[in-house]
Chains A and B, each alone.
Chain A
Amino acid sequence: MMAEAETQKDDMLLEVKDLTVRFPVKRGGIFGGKSYLYAVDDISFEVKRGETLAIVGESGSGKTTAALAVARLVEAYSGTVRLGDEDFLALKDDDLRRARAKVQIIFQDPYASLNPRLRAEDIVSEPIESLNPLGKSERQTVIDGLFKDVGLRPEQQRLFPHQFSGGQRQRIGIARALATQPELIICDEPVSALDVAVQAQILNLLRKLQKERDLTFLFISHDLGVVQHMCDSIAVMYMGKIVEHADRKSLFNDPKHPYTQALLSAVPSVDAKRRRNTKRILIPGDPPDPINPPQGCRFANRCPIAEAKCNESQPPLREIKGGHKVACHLA
């Protein structure tokens, strides 16, 4: 019995393989053919049950698109997403509805992601009604419990979103995400719209809920300080590709990819020791045009250590030591 629970714990909840998302873009001119922008280009990653994988990267790197594709909110062009023992991308109709209850999202902007015409209780009960309908009194019990768990008072159920502060609104967003008892929650920049003092409350709440409910998080953020605090492993994305994927400690203490190194060195820190020991690696210029990505490594034109071969072929994501994967010819 114990052993079984043990292996259960080690289970992968989410396995993403060769996921690609592309968007059609119009070329200029009447005869300009269709071409595609590969927002997410052939990425693979896994998340263990009860753990947090952070996807980091700068704007336009494809981190949000990747997460939305996992939740089937944008259509994947190819690849597979295994959730538990189901092929999530192949599900249809009722199976899909049932499975959707297992994947929920907390959005970035608590001011824009709550319907201003609904009362807080209706916002939270909406996913229950559409994904796993319950009887009226049962539903009320669930909602009462959710409000309590996210730190809102029962009488606040009757209020409208504009009557809440930013942090409280994000609590409603969290309660809504928890309503269908999901296994995987995608947190898309859940605190970046909040004031720093409120951020701490939300981050602590997320970690508490994760522990209590054995939740798995896919945590998307550009704030490396927050990521460092929240995650168990990290995938760094650059122009639709995962360039480095490792557990928290080895990624932050020993980054292997030149882009990750530059990214970490760019974070301003209050730690005087870190400031002394970090040499800032500046990466000049901008990323290349995503519609015509270069043949070779996509980071090569900004990379401080690029060589001729970097422009010729794309480096594959390969494991260099104990689970630490890097996509770089020179690492």
Chain B
Amino acid sequence: MTVPLLKVENLRIELATRDGVAPVIDDLSLELGVGETLSFVGESGCGKSMTALAIMGLLPEKVGRIASGHIWFNGEDLTKADDARLRQIRGNEISMIFQEPMTSLNPVYTIGEQISEVLRRHKGLSQRQAHAKAIELLDAVRIPNPQARVDDYPHQMSGGQRQRVMIAIALACEPKILIADEPTTALDVTVQAQIFDLLRDLGQQTGTATILITHDMGAVAEMAERMIVMYAGRKAEEGPVDQVIDSPRHPYTKGLISCVPHLLDTLTDERPELTEIGGIVPSLRDFGKNECLFASRCTIADEKCRANRPPEAEFDNQQRSACWHAGQV
């Protein structure tokens, strides 16, 4: 097997809360290959954004810290890297697109200046070169008339266009990994479709591996090759997207898929009740416990689930599920 581009090993991230220290990421391992698209799925608070921030070295200072584990990027352990080294990597080799295109651009600089900044910082281009490259990038993200738009301020653009600018900034240095944190949640569906098309095309052209963080199973099915379902800071299930969606091996994954009404190929009169996942996510206080954290909401949980944290069961088709009853789901 080839060496993966990114390898996260037994990562544990602790967050200081009023009630003490809570492991918001608990023993997470994953691998990402060159050019691959991996998706993180889960409800809010399950730790999917926290993982992304850890990879970027952007955990909130003094509150969150990596307690143990490693993040190997190209053979280098990012958990040991100092701030200067992380600054070199961020925006250059690993970059990120945030959820809110409305707030993640600086309103007092033109978009040309904001794209140029990355290029001048990391690639050492002159102002003129960077400006020319910025126009090229705007063209690549399909903004019409880039020559004129490059001197626009963010407020002069629509939400979809701003997200394209964010993508241009993120891809300016042709990073090896692009982390997209809910990149289309704030956008309309037709715009979302355009952004997905763009991400897919650019990913193929530049060979960039993508980590897509989302709660939309449809988006995962459309965009990713492999997916990781997170629950309460732990990995619930991992596997190739089509297989996981077709036959989930974890009751939580199953619930996540069937609790959302989906558009199907042909609509019939039949409208069954949606499956509910009863109860609510556990509070941070319960995060570190040696039990299955989903047990309180699970329909097939038994004594064993409440007494011990389930190990990962591996199946032949590369699906893995952290459930004591994975074989029966």
B and A form one assembly: yes
Instruction: Using CB atoms, name the residue of chain B closest to A276.
Output: B265
Q: Which of B66-113 contact A (CB under 8 A)?
A: none
* Shortest distance between the CB of B282 and any CB in chain A (Å): 12
Determine if A200 and B276 form an interchain contact, defined as CB atoms under 8 angstroms apart: yes
Q: Does A132 contact B (CB under 8 A)?
A: no
A199 touches B267 (CB 8 A): no
Tell whether, in the assembled complex, residue B259 and residue A200 are in contact, meaning their CB atoms are under 8 Å apart: yes
Chain B residues with CB below 8 A from A167, complex form: 280
**In chain B between 176 and 220, which residues have their CB closer than 8 angstroms to a CB of chain A?**
188-194, 196-197, 215-219
Q: Is residue B256 contacting chain A, with contact meaning CB distance below 8 A?
A: yes
The answer to whether A252 has its CB under 8 Å from any CB of chain B is yes
A59 to B218, CA, bound (A): 21
Among A200, A204, A230, A252, chain B packs the most CB atoms within 10 A around the CB of: A200
What chain B residues lie within 8 Å of A263 (beta carbons)? 189-190
Q: How far is the CA of A273 from the CA of B264 in the complex (A)?
A: 8
- Any chain A CB within 8 A of the CB of B260? yes
In-complex Cβ contact of B277 among A197, A262, A266, A268 (8 A): A197
CA distance A264 to B245 in the complex (A): 21
Collect the chain A residues with CB atoms within 8 Å of residue B275's CB.
200
Which residues of chain B are near A204, meaning CB under 8 Å? 273-274, 276
Q: Does B317 have its Cβ within 8 Å of any Cβ on chain A?
A: no
Least CB distance from A265 to B in Å reads: 8
Among listed A78-86, A90-98, A172-180, A281-289, interface-contacting one: A281-289
- A201 contacts the other chain (Cβ, under 8 Å)? yes
* Chain A residues within an 8 Å CB radius of B276: 197, 200-201, 204
Q: Which of A165, A196, A198, A228 contacts B263 (CB 8 A)?
A: A228
Check: B225 CB closer than 8 A to any chain A CB: no
A267 CB within 8 Å of chain B? yes
* Residue pair B255, A274 in contact (C-beta under 8 Å): no
**B277 and A269 within 8 A (CB):** no
Measured CA separation A201–B274 after assembly (Å): 8
Q: Is B286 an interface residue (CB 8 A)?
A: no
B261 CB contacts on chain A under 8 angstroms: 203, 225-226, 228-230
Contact partners of B192 in chain A: CB under 8 A = 266, 268
Q: Is the CB of A224 within 8 A of B222?
A: no
Interface residues on A, range: 35 or more
Asked if A272 CB lies within 8 Å of chain B CBs, one says yes
CB distance from A297 to the nearest CB of B (A): 17
Residues of B in contact with A (beta carbons under 8 Å apart): 43-44, 144, 158-161, 188-194, 196-197, 215-219, 221-223, 242, 245-246, 255-257, 259-269, 271, 273-277, 280
Question: Inside 8 A of A265's CB, which chain B residues have their CB?
Answer: 193
Q: How far is the CB of A252 from chain B (nearest CB, A)?
A: 4
Contact across chains for B160 and A229 when beta carbons are under 8 A apart = no
Residue among B190, B256, B273 with the highest chain A CB neighbour number at 10 A: B190
What is the bound-complex CA distance between A272 and B242, given in angstroms? 8
Residue of B with least CB distance to A302? B190
A196-B259, A203-B261 known; A269+B193 contact, CB < 8 A: no
- A155 at interface, CB cutoff 8 A: no
Interface residues of A in 213-252 (CB under 8 A from B): 222, 224-226, 228-230, 248-249, 252
Interchain CB contact under 8 A, B189 and A269? no
Task: Tell me the A167-217 residues at the B interface (CB within 8 Å).
Answer: 167, 195-201, 203-204, 207
Say yes or no: B277 contacts A200, CB within 8 Å: yes
Query: Would B259 and A199 count as touching, CB distance under 8 A?
Result: yes
Contacts A224-B263, A268-B218, A277-B265; is A229 near B256 (CB within 8 Å)?
A: no
Bound Cα distance from A204 to B261, whole angstroms = 11
The residue among B144, B192, B273, B274 with the most chain A CB atoms within 10 A of its own CB is B274
Chain A residues with CB under 8 Å of B189's CB are 58, 222, 224, 263, 266-267
A283/B274 in contact, CB under 8 A? no
| Residue contact B190 to A266, C-beta cutoff 8 Å | yes
Asked whether, in the complex, the Cβ of A283 is within 8 Å of the Cβ of B190, the reply is yes
Contact B264 A282 (CB under 8 A): no
Per the bound structure, the CA–CA distance linking A252 and B267 in Å amounts to 7
Min distance, Cβ B74 to any Cβ of chain A, angstroms: 32
Name the residue in A226, A264, A271, A273 with the highest tally of chain B Cβ atoms < 10 Å from its Cβ: A271
Q: Are B221 and A275 in contact (CB under 8 A)?
A: yes
The answer, yes or no, to whether A331 is at the interface (CB within 8 Å) is no
Residues of B within 8 A of A2 (CB): none
Q: Do residues A165 and B144 form an inter-chain contact, with CB atoms below 8 A?
A: no
Do B188 and A58 have beta carbons less than 8 Å apart? yes
Q: Interface 1/0s, chain A 127-166, versus B by CB < 8 A?
A: 0000000000000000000000000000000000000010
User: Which residues does chain A contribute within 8 Å of B159, judged by CB atoms?
Assistant: 59
CB distance from B187 to the nearest CB of A (A): 9
Distance, CA A269 to CA B268, complexed state (A): 16
Residues of B within 8 A of A195 (CB): 43-44, 215
B200 to chain A, nearest CB (A): 11
B232 to chain A, nearest CB (A): 12
Residues of chain B contacted by A207 (CB below 8 angstroms): 273
18 more CB-based (< 8 A) A-B contacts, given A199-B260, A207-B273, A268-B193 = A58-B188, A58-B191, A195-B215, A196-B256, A200-B275, A200-B277, A203-B261, A225-B263, A228-B261, A228-B267, A266-B192, A267-B189, A269-B263, A270-B221, A272-B242, A273-B264, A274-B265, A280-B197
Nearest 9 Cβ contacts at the A-B interface: A229-B261, A268-B218, A266-B193, A200-B259, A58-B188, A200-B274, A268-B222, A274-B265, A197-B277
- Could you list some 19 contacts between A and B, CB below 8 A? A167-B280, A195-B44, A196-B43, A196-B256, A197-B43, A200-B276, A204-B273, A204-B274, A222-B188, A222-B189, A252-B263, A252-B267, A268-B193, A270-B257, A270-B262, A271-B264, A273-B265, A274-B263, A282-B193
